[in-house]
Structure 1
Amino acid sequence: MSDGERMSEGIRSALDDGVLRVLLSRPERLNALRTEDLDELAGVIGRAAEDERVRVVVLAGAGRAFCSGADLGAEVDADTVDAAGRAALALRRIGKPVVAAVDGAAAGVGCSLALACDLVIATRSASFLLAFAKVGLMPDGGATALVPAAVGRTRAMWMALLGEPVGAETAAEWGLIGQVVDDDDLDATVTDVTARLAAGPPLAYARIKQAIDEAALPGLTRALETERTGQAELLHSRDFAEGAAAFRDRRKPNFNGT
């Protein structure tokens, strides 16, 4: 990975003083992710894992949202689910701290990816929602393991079944995220935190991540497999076709269980 900026259509990254800033960069679509974007994200994180110059990673979204989820205007299929799983695993397996800087909505797989980071710093106007059921799908991107590990089964069920947004202050109270800041303070707070991490002990950080994940997320790989199997079935259901059409038409879906 070279210094300066690296760009694809949906993902931009730049390395500066040991901090790799990765930006979801489709603001006109609220940073909705296509399969190729998720693959590129996994690739960027994978390359960062091997680059000794990278000491910490920041994941953020361009514009007025962190990420609105998968792009339902593009093809969403099993390859998309697999790519989401690879991106989430890359964020967990990189032996370097990863900070999510969340401003605006983190929805669907965008919520999954934010929660796959080590530290989540959000603005007061941010929100987190597992919106999958609203279009006839189940959470993926590792959310079925990440969310209950953070907030417990009861609150995970509330988020997954109802798909309601959880405001940043409530998310912090639940333990879903680490810190809430005023909207104007996000950049300064992230810069301060990443500077501290970049100056910290890389070997210790890698071992800390490994140990905590072994204790708190021992079932992540199995969860990704279960998500893949269930989502592949749901993607072929009439309910998903209806949910996606209703989303595009901005109307309430009429699910019938087929």
Structure 2
Amino acid sequence: MLVNTRKKGALDMARSLIEWGKKSGVSFLFPPHEASVLGRQGLGDEEWKSNVNVAIVIGGDGTFLRAARYVLGAPISLYGINLGHLGFLASGKAEEAEKDLESILRGEYSIIIHKVLKGQIFRDDKSTHTLFALNDLVLAKGALARVMHVEVRLGDKLLNTLPADGIIVSTPTGSTAYALSAGGPIVPPHVQCMIIVPICAHTLYTRPVLAGETDVITLTPRGNHRDLLLTQDGQLGYEILPGDAIQISLSKEHSVNVITLPTRNYFDLLQEKLQWGRGIVSFEKE
């Protein structure tokens, strides 16, 4: 069990499921942080990862993103119980948590493999950071309202040099996150691609672009900006200096396994979370 320990509702849900587990003969394993907050016996990080097949993530999509990075490289499938706002990743409903866990215990679920981005920051032609993101990597400027210019390459081909407030490179998983707000398309997670979305482009012709699953995207800021930041899933940030290059691709070695239940598929989520089909005029026969 992985829990947003800063949210009282998530802690209450965790304690409720612990009590349910006692009655149902189900025991939960806790990594060190959750164990200390919940007052349970915990395991070390590596021991926990080696003993867990399925992790229940209690919180919102932010908690799910942190959980995905935590289990990266381990064969652990994630199921999220949403106590946040939108809940595309943490799709389970709190009021149905016990029923959902019973379905999972019976094996009545499927696994969707979500690709992750691999980003490498190069400085003076040397790799200084390697990072992985389930949703997106975003290159953006600081607080000053100044346009930045970013050279975008696919492989060795120049795609464009964009004047914009920033650039989002997203997975299909992240297509319903920041990229959607910036005007990008919705892409189901089984489609293997990357999405390049400018943020407030200072041109009329710039549009989102899809890159293939084997493409390598290189972002190189031009000019002398010294207030640039590369953010990882909107949660971790890395300073980018003039002359740095950021290479982004779909990771070949890592992915995230997400549990989906038969009663709650991706397109059902789109209809529910984006309220598609609401307010459509119905016509009665005369």
What range describes the TM-score normalised by the shorter chain of this pair?
under 0.3
Taking structure 2 as the reference length, what is the TM-score of the superposition?
0.24
Taking structure 1 as the reference length, what is the TM-score of the superposition?
0.25
More strand by share: 2
